Chain A
Amino acid sequence: MSTKTKRSFEGVATVVDTDVHLTESQADLMPYLEGPFAELIENAGEKYGGFWGNWYPAAGYFSPMDTGRIEIDSAGDPHELRDWEVEVLGVDRAVLNPTQNLGLGYVHHDELSAALAHAYNEYLLDTYLDDVSEFYGSAVVSPQKPYAAAEEIDDRADESKIVSIMFPTSGLHPPAGHSMYDPIYDAIERSGLPVCMHNGVSGLMASFPLQWRGFSRFMEAHAFVNPAQHMVNVASIITHGVPERFPDLDFVIMEAGLGWIPYYIHRLDEEYSAARHDAPELTQPPSAYFEDQFYFTSQPIEGTGDPNYVRNVIDAFGGQEKLMFSSDYPHFDFDHSDALLDIVRGGFEDGTVENVFSRTADRVFGF
């Protein structure tokens, strides 16, 4: 049964989709796994055929995908994915991110996590980026192994189709401002690429174990975790002075909706006014770092039924220069490009429409 409609996106010169997901599986990645793990698995034979679910622990919720009502459940092959992005969403350039490997930060085995990051990056380049001109991608790194991550970044930085580094903040511990990650930030800053941060529902288990135990339904877990996880890591990054130590690093904060952004910028400024001694490395208020170094992707836009709400929120965090369209396709809560276009066009100048749909992303990702 067809899952496409016949309409096409019209209205702006160029559309960049800053968050599209591959749906990589065990079978996809294993051929790219290198080093001792590849040999170890080879010797294990068939009996460990189902190890993928052990390596990346899952929170175990009954998700909207599990009912079968949502028929879009995979990225498809490179040409199917391209057809959707170009024909249905009207996209000219897309940044591909992982699905399972967003959870690298809570893979228990540190060395394995680093090996999986390398395998994913090989798979990404080999299967999706090399053949499709519209596709670019984020290389993932293992937070557990900062020096291996830095080497991975150094190795990928010159690949023309790699336009960002995905720092897997989902379930990350300790939080992202900890100095153990400085080698990663240092390598990313050196590469000239932005650092992307993107969470997922299973990270709840690692970062918020009590809430995971208490939440028995997907809906409550998913509503909470994406912004909450960013709040943890952004507070940590700002308080511990990461943008001060790495002033040329751009942060791309993804997939948590919009309303929390102006709220949190203001809140951190208020906190800093009273507790500046807790952030002695900072030389300016938190909002100034957001102004200089932070960007946000749009999906999932909350409140599309109330366009004025969305426009006010965009304006409240300077989204005219900070917001970048993302679809999140093929995940269950993806946004069509038209949903954001209608809202932005209804309240901002043409230049803002161009910024949101391409200019800001072109600048941040440097395609």
Chain B
Amino acid sequence: MPEPTGDHHYAADLDELEGTDRLLTEVNGLEVAVFRVEDDLYAVSNYCVHQGGPACEGRVSGILTVDDEGELIYDRNGEIVSCPWHGWEFDIRTGEHLANPRYRLPTFDVLVHDGEIYIEW
């Protein structure tokens, strides 16, 4: 298991994520959300690049899309967070805005060590 270095900043204890899909914390003055998607953790900036809303505090959901036959399906449940101000959808894994990847929430690598969550920048 890798050790935290000087680039790693303590975010929260791992057990704070039990029973929830995310936690919000502040690391060096930056509001960051740590999400659990399946078994992996992702850290995303909580400041919406659109107009400054609390992007990571919104609904975690999937998306309406089409399958190979063009039929409407609901897919990727649990992988998308929407800013509660304007509903802009972001991919929790990459921070990318689904409608236009030119807009992206900053994301950070996550390290779990000894029951503690660290984010790296």
Contact = CB atoms under 8 A, between A and B. Distances in A.
Interface in B46-83: 47, 51-54, 57-59, 61, 82
A71 B59 contact: yes
Contacts of A7: 52
Interface stretch (B9-17, B84-92, B108-116): B84-92
Q: Is the interface of A mostly helix, strand, loop or mixed?
A: loop
A338 B57 CA distance: 21
Interface in A65-103: 67-72
Contacts of A3: 53-54, 57, 84-85
Contacts of A68: 59
Contacts of B86: 70, 332-334
Interface string A40-71: 00000000000000000000000010011111
Interface in A1-15: 1-5, 7
A250 interface: no
A64 B59 CA distance: 13
A333 B102 CA distance: 19
A339 B58 contact: no
A70 B85 CA distance: 6
Interface in A282-316: 305
A83 to B, nearest CB: 15
B106 to A, nearest CB: 15
B54 A2 contact: yes
Task: With a 10 A CB-CB cut-off, give which of A335, A336, A339 has the most chain B CB atoms.
Answer: A336
A335 B103 CA distance: 17
A67 B87 contact: yes
Interface in B19-66: 47, 51-54, 57-59, 61
Nearest to A338: B52
B97 to A, nearest CB: 11
Contacts of B84: 1, 3, 69-72
The 3 residue pairs across chains A and B that have the minimum distance between CB atoms: A71-B84, A69-B82, A69-B87
